[in-house]
Amino acid sequence: MVQPWRSRPLLAAALGLGGRRRLPRSRGGTAALLPPGSGSGSGTAPAARPCSGGGVLRHLLLKLRATGPLTVAEYMREALTNPGQGYYTRRGGVGRDFVTAPEARREAASRSSRSRAVSVCQLVGIWYLSEWMAAGKPAAFQLVELGPGTGALTEDILRVFNQLASLLSKCDVSIHLVEVSPKLSESQAQMLTGGKVQSNSEDEAAYMKGISKTGIPIYWYRGIQDVPQGYSFYLAHEFLDALPIHKFQRTEKGWREVLVDIDPEAPDQLRFVLSPSSTPATENFIQPEETRDHVEVCPEAGVLIQRLACRIEKDGGAALIADYGHDGTKTDTFRGFQNHKLHDVLKAPGTADLTADVDFSYLRKMAQGKIATLGPIKQREFLKNMGVDLRMQVLLQNSHDSATREQLLHSYDMLMNPKKMGDRFHFFALLPHYRLTQPHKEHHLQSKSPLPPVAGFGELLLK
């Protein structure tokens, strides 16, 4: 279950910076798995001493003493998004404990000429334009980003839209951000609008709105269900790996759920235990044909995919999901990161980022055939298909100082090298069936013309 060193791959060719880094675990996976009851969640625990973990830990200890062990999903939800105390909600940790691609790109850009940064985030913007063109340039589209962090990725995409303003001149574009963290939505507002936003009343679907520096309306929501229906492009970049997972362990007596309980040896600390019998989640989430001994399932990601599938089937558009992940093969991937270092997932909840790799095979299953799925494809292949090599050549030709060239080559290696990032970060797309099998009614090409390939998963053809 314990996995060796894995570096955190990047989406953007950030100049010389890594992503959310994954280093050796400080504890042995879900070690110390003991049956609940031998822990102190049964109500017999001595009173907890004041503890260093702060608000979330105190809250969890009270809860554990009152009601017994929690699922890992409940634990993760509290640690990340507990109102006021969670890792994201309390202080908006993006960029402090991990560096995601858009963040790295920004830092890189501030160190070299901004226009020279190898911004692969911009290639994501081009991906949406290419899908918009393949659909026959609909008169309007919404760009919906889930978990935008500081807003750096949307900012890059808006830059691409602005550079290609003549192409989009007749298109009504709007931006819709799904963000649960008040702190991070403030950062996003600052970055995208210069702080010119207004809060909405409780009865409106969007809790905040503003206008981007390039004149595009932006809205903020707490959940995807609040975003208006309509032709939309969705983006989830390092979002699904922050959603809560359930963990299961195969035992001689059958599948058991991994739970979080108070450590009886140290009443202000937590430990993993196994459920004494199967739980509702074990019954629902473990497939009879499962061959692994340890399985992680993220039902919230499943629900999200179902919602996206319904929306894309009904209104058209596409979703691009970019994350660390696997195709139903990995086991224990639950990790914590603090200050760019691995952090014990059970220590000081609320102070560290917690992540688990995305199971793309589960996402495919949850799409339930309503829409087509493409991928997962490795970052290295996706970026090659998106023309990163050509972009790199142009950047190198236009860089006249050796330091910038070196930096460019270094970042290209970080991104594309299979041993570094190239093989670890994946892209996965959701598209209406007609995008792959028959010309859309709005498609401007006649039915005899073949549909253009989906960029990134095939060649990029901007015609």
Beta strands of 215-362 (E only): which ranges? 217-221, 232-237, 246-251, 254-263, 266-274, 294-297, 317-326, 335-338, 341-343, 353-355, 358-359
Our CB check for ligand SAH shows the closer of 40 and 351 to be 351
Among 23-31, 38-46, 80-88, 391-399, which window interacts with ligand SAH (CB under 6 A)? 80-88
Burial class, 43, CB count within 10 angstroms (exposed 0-12 / middle 13-18 / buried 19+): exposed
Per the CB < 8 A criterion, the answer to whether 22 and 53 are in contact is no
Our CB check for ligand SAH shows the closer of 88 and 234 to be 88
Closest by alpha carbon to 121, among 218, 49, 14, 220?
A: 14
Per the CB < 8 A criterion, the answer to whether 345 and 354 are in contact is yes
The separation between CA 275 and the C-alpha centre of its own chain, rounded to angstroms, equals 29
The verdict on 302 binding ligand SAH (CB under 6 A) reads no
Per the CB < 8 A criterion, the answer to whether 123 and 427 are in contact is no
Query: Residue 208 is encoded by which pair of tokens?
Result: 């905040």
Helix H or strand E segment including 174: strand 172-178
The verdict on 123 binding ligand SAH (CB under 6 A) reads no
Strand partners, 322: 237, 427
Among 143-151, 211-219, 259-267, 332-340, which window interacts with ligand SAH (CB under 6 A)? 143-151
Say which DSSP state 328 is in: S
What gap in Å lies between CA 336 and CA 295, rounded to an integer? Answer: 18
The verdict on 88 binding ligand SAH (CB under 6 A) reads yes
186: phi then psi, degrees, rounded to nearest 5:
-65, -45
What gap in Å lies between CA 439 and CA 317, rounded to an integer? Answer: 14
Per the CB < 8 A criterion, the answer to whether 66 and 47 are in contact is no
The verdict on 179 binding ligand SAH (CB under 6 A) reads yes
Our CB check for ligand SAH shows the closer of 178 and 312 to be 178
Our CB check for ligand SAH shows the closer of 105 and 364 to be 105
The verdict on 375 binding ligand SAH (CB under 6 A) reads no
The verdict on 456 binding ligand SAH (CB under 6 A) reads no
The verdict on 184 binding ligand SAH (CB under 6 A) reads yes
The verdict on 41 binding ligand SAH (CB under 6 A) reads no
What gap in Å lies between CA 324 and CA 166, rounded to an integer? Answer: 35
The verdict on 357 binding ligand SAH (CB under 6 A) reads no
The verdict on 237 binding ligand SAH (CB under 6 A) reads yes
The verdict on 238 binding ligand SAH (CB under 6 A) reads yes
Q: How far is the CB of 145 from ligand SAH (least distance, A)?
A: 7
Binding residue for ligand SAH, selected from 70, 94, 321, 358, defined by CB under 6 A:
94
Per the CB < 8 A criterion, the answer to whether 296 and 356 are in contact is yes
Binding residue for ligand SAH, selected from 64, 76, 124, 178, defined by CB under 6 A:
178
The verdict on 239 binding ligand SAH (CB under 6 A) reads yes
Binding residue for ligand SAH, selected from 81, 174, 333, 404, defined by CB under 6 A:
81
Among 125-133, 148-156, 275-283, 305-313, which window interacts with ligand SAH (CB under 6 A)? 148-156
458: phi then psi, degrees, rounded to nearest 5:
-145, -165
Binding residue for ligand SAH, selected from 29, 36, 68, 149, defined by CB under 6 A:
149
Closest by alpha carbon to 455, among 119, 11, 118, 131?
A: 131
Q: How far is the CB of 149 from ligand SAH (least distance, A)?
A: 3
Q: How far is the CB of 168 from ligand SAH (least distance, A)?
A: 23
The verdict on 131 binding ligand SAH (CB under 6 A) reads no
User: Helix, strand, coil shares of the chain as percentages rounded to 5?
Assistant: 35, 25, 40
Our CB check for ligand SAH shows the closer of 101 and 286 to be 101
Binding residue for ligand SAH, selected from 148, 264, 325, 439, defined by CB under 6 A:
148
Our CB check for ligand SAH shows the closer of 149 and 422 to be 149
- Contact positions toward ligand SAH, by CB under 6 A? 80-81, 88, 94, 100, 102-103, 147-149, 153, 178-181, 184, 237-239, 242
